[in-house]
Amino acid sequence: MTASKLASRSTLFTLATGLVLVALVGWRVASLGDYTFARIVQDFLNALTLGSLYALIALGYTMVYGIIRLINFAHGEIFMLGSYFAFYAMTLTPMHWGLALLVTVLLGGTVLLVLRSLFNLEEPRRTAALALLIFAGTFFLLAFRNMGWIEALLLSMLATGVAGVLLEAIAYRPLRGAPRESMLITAIAASFFLQNMGQLLFGPRVQGFNAETILNRPLNFTIGEETVYYTGILIVVPTVTAVLLFVLNLFVTRTRLGKAMRATAQDAEVAQMMGVNVNQVIALTFFIGSILAAAAGVMYAIRFGQIHPLMGLIPGIKAFTAAVIGGIGSLPGAVLGGLLLGFIEIYVVSLFPTLSAYKDVFAFVLLILILLFRPSGLVGEDLTEKV
């Protein structure tokens, strides 16, 4: 069979599936009766927010996989760390100047060391300027500011990025070249370790994450006689996800470091021979992936209002599912997969209320179908080619 025939066949198949789905949804909407237009809009906004959150986590997941083919099961825990860092940044500041100094030296020192190794900061003057900026900035934020959510978000992204690099250096780098299963098992172990460390350090209790921010402000509007309820976060999360996807794509396709990343993804050994510092590229990948996880963690905490040490588990699994559905390793795929998952979860509950407990089953059935019929995901490329 020729390729074009195959393509037209799969297009037909997709079209038919789409038509069946549309018919099914249309029939449900008609038979539900009280499913008004305002409720449809409400569901759509809710699904968009949830899906964008999944997409944001899935982006980090898929980046790491794309470069070193590692399913980083600890990604959910990095996400948890991100929300805790922001939580403490908001609740513990302004702190006593002595304590602030100590934290600044420890945190700033680690951040500086990691940044230096990531971006080849050789020139002493620039390094000194960066050091001054980091130390002064951190000290100022810790000692004199009662941090708002934006400052907390930025600080948390930086700290979590560094935590991700440390995780890679400690847990994964020594296993470079080992069979992939060893890495996978290590990732699971790292995930358990971080969960338990979180319980020990942060306490096992649920903590309220009550940021009185613009993100929680109601921005309701009415359609006809009915009100559609939404808050600022329903705009911010999809926007942030879209912007990050755009920037990341630009970074990977247009910059030297991005080129090095793609080279490492295709063949790490050959890339190394061509002068690419593979360790540095991988560390950078973890840095970016963890920054994304932190951003998602803070958004998630603001949206749902609470954090706890095991909070990363379920979103981690969901993001993994989203990444695989979209095509693991592909950035737009991760976003598409996340959105799809969000829409399934919301619409299963609205259209089939009696099946609402099984919404995850629908998501995982989709995962199995995708793996069976399109193993490389919705927008993933052929298995032979890595990205």
Please give the residue ranges that form the binding site for another protein (CB under 8 A): 34-36, 39, 42-43, 46, 50, 199, 204-208, 210, 216, 218, 220, 227, 229, 231, 300, 304-306, 308, 310, 313-314, 345-350, 353-354, 356-357, 360
Selection from 330, 304, 327, 326 nearest residue 315 by Cα: 304
Would you say 69 or 308 has its CB closer to another protein? 308
**CB 302 to another protein: min, Å:** 10
For residue 277, give the amino acid letter. N
**What Å distances lie between residue 11 and 4, 16, 326, 368, CA to CA?**
10, 9, 17, 20
- What is the signed CA dihedral for 64, 68, 70, 74, rounded to 10 degrees? -40
Would you say 171 or 228 has its CB closer to another protein? 228
**What Å distances lie between residue 259 and 68, 229, 264, 333, CA to CA?**
15, 44, 9, 20
- Asked, as a colleague might, if the bond just before 94 is cis with ω within 30 of 0, I would say yes
**CB 293 to another protein: min, Å:** 17
Would you say 357 or 383 has its CB closer to another protein? 357
DSSP line for 293-331: HHHHHHHHHHHH-EE-TTTTHHHHHHHHHHHHHH-TT-H
**CB 361 to another protein: min, Å:** 10
**CB 305 to another protein: min, Å:** 4
Segments of 83-194 assigned E as strands: none
Would you say 195 or 376 has its CB closer to another protein? 195
**CB 39 to another protein: min, Å:** 6
Would you say 247 or 314 has its CB closer to another protein? 314
Query: What angle do the packed helices 278-304 and 37-68 form, to 10 degrees?
Result: 160
Would you say 101 or 313 has its CB closer to another protein? 313
How many Å apart are CA 251 and CA 256, to the nearest integer? Answer: 9
**CB 32 to another protein: min, Å:** 9
